Amino acid sequence: MPASAPLPRRDTRGIVDPTELLTRVRFRRHTPAPELRPYLEHYWLIDWELPEPYASRVVPHPSVNVVFQRYGSPGAPSAEVAGVGLGLFTQELTDTGRVCGVQFRPGGFRPFAPAWPVSAWTGRRVPLGEVFPERGGPPERGGSPEHGGSPEHGGEDALTAVLSPDDDHARVAALDAFLLARGPAPDPAAGQAMELVELIRSDRTVRKVSRLAAASGLSARSLQRLFADHVGVGPKWVILRYRIHEALERAEAAGAPDWAGLAAELGYSDQAHLVRDFTATIKLPPTAYARAVSVP
């Protein structure tokens, strides 16, 4: 496993127009139990009470999330596993609601659900019971993820324990208990995957898969297989996603960024390539997005 487990991130990378979001909802991050910290980024809790609908938008991290949620009042609670999101995720929030989420570190989910590669969940949002069946025992390794167990909520007790308390500490304790009852299983490859994704995130010189392969001592093919099994997407995709997160954060900063300079800094061959990737992901050109978030 990685030598250290960082505290929850304080940045808002990936959230589209975070200032607007934080004026609409109560958003908090919490640290999991010590045994879980090597595998998890953090828990994230959101509560809202809105006089009118609001659409939240997120450019997902290369992470799996487990999400307990209740929309509306009284609202039927549900829980799901959200695989790595390939595109912009939009969720309309209305009335009142509550979401309690677990964001795994990229590479950190497989030890809790070792029966399938993480790529089985990529681009999917599936009922919790498909991944963590409550009845009939664990699924066989390598079996179909479509038939891993009961497609129910993953346990009414867990839903109640996580979503009912108003106190954050009680919700965090319930999330800890849910995960500790399900793992983690020893998996050295998961530790290697997490370290390599962290290298991509923290080292801007890692702009190409060949550079990552050299740093890891793996062949390009072995690197691709490691990422498919433990991250859910390929290393090139991860590099590009973190570039977009950086560009999104720069666009939200005061003043217009030097887009040509930023493109070079992020490893793009030219500004046009950055603009194309940003527009395809956010659905707005970077200059238009920068203007939109600067409007008071």
**Claim to verify: residue 288 and residue 196 sit in the same structural domain:** yes
Q: Which domain holds residue 192?
A: 188-294
Give Cα separations from 12 to 29, 120, 185, 224 (angstroms). 11, 28, 31, 28
Residues 6+ apart with CB under 8 A from 203: none
Into how many domains does the chain fold? 2
pLDDT of residue 201: 92
Q: Could you give the CA distance from residue 52 to residue 70 in angstroms, rounded to a whole number? A: 17
Boundary of a domain, candidates 149, 180, 211: 180
pLDDT of residue 148: 40
pLDDT of residue 139: 46
Q: Could you give the CA distance from residue 133 to residue 147 in angstroms, rounded to a whole number? A: 10
CB neighbours (10 Å) of residue 73? 10
CB 249 within 8 A of CB 12: yes
CB 128 within 8 A of CB 156: no
**Claim to verify: residue 240 and residue 170 sit in the same structural domain:** no
What is the chain's alpha carbon radius of gyration, rounded to the nearest angstrom? 19
**Domain harbouring 138, CATH code:** 2.60.120
**Claim to verify: residue 143 and residue 227 sit in the same structural domain:** no
Which amino acid, 168?
Answer: D
> Would you say residue 12 lies in a domain?
no
**Claim to verify: residue 97 and residue 138 sit in the same structural domain:** yes
What parts of the chain have a pLDDT lower than 70?
1-10, 73-74, 134-155, 254-255, 294-296
**Claim to verify: residue 33 and residue 154 sit in the same structural domain:** yes
CB 78 within 8 A of CB 125: no
**Claim to verify: residue 227 and residue 131 sit in the same structural domain:** no
DSSP state of 217: T
**Claim to verify: residue 137 and residue 252 sit in the same structural domain:** no
pLDDT of residue 84: 97
**Claim to verify: residue 204 and residue 262 sit in the same structural domain:** yes
pLDDT of residue 275: 92
Boundary of a domain, candidates 180, 212, 229: 180
Say whether 181 sits in a helix, a strand or coil.
coil
**Domain harbouring 212, CATH code:** 1.10.10.60
> Would you say residue 9 lies in a domain?
no
CB 251 within 8 A of CB 257: yes
Q: Is 255 exposed, middle or buried (0-12, 13-18, 19+ CB in 10 A)?
A: exposed
**Claim to verify: residue 169 and residue 199 sit in the same structural domain:** no
**Claim to verify: residue 260 and residue 167 sit in the same structural domain:** no
pLDDT of residue 213: 94
DSSP state of 265: H
**Claim to verify: residue 114 and residue 63 sit in the same structural domain:** yes
Residues 6+ apart with CB under 8 A from 66: 79, 80, 81, 82, 101, 102, 104, 128, 179
Q: Could you give the CA distance from residue 44 to residue 27 in angstroms, rounded to a whole number? A: 7
| Tokens encoding 27 | 């958003």
> Would you say residue 74 lies in a domain?
yes
Boundary of a domain, candidates 180, 215, 242: 180
Q: How many CA atoms lie within 13 A of 91 on its CB side?
A: 17
Looking at the DSSP bridge assignments, the partners of residue 89 are 58
pLDDT of residue 137: 45
> Would you say residue 93 lies in a domain?
yes
Residues 6+ apart with CB under 8 A from 198: 2, 105
> Would you say residue 10 lies in a domain?
no
pLDDT of residue 3: 45
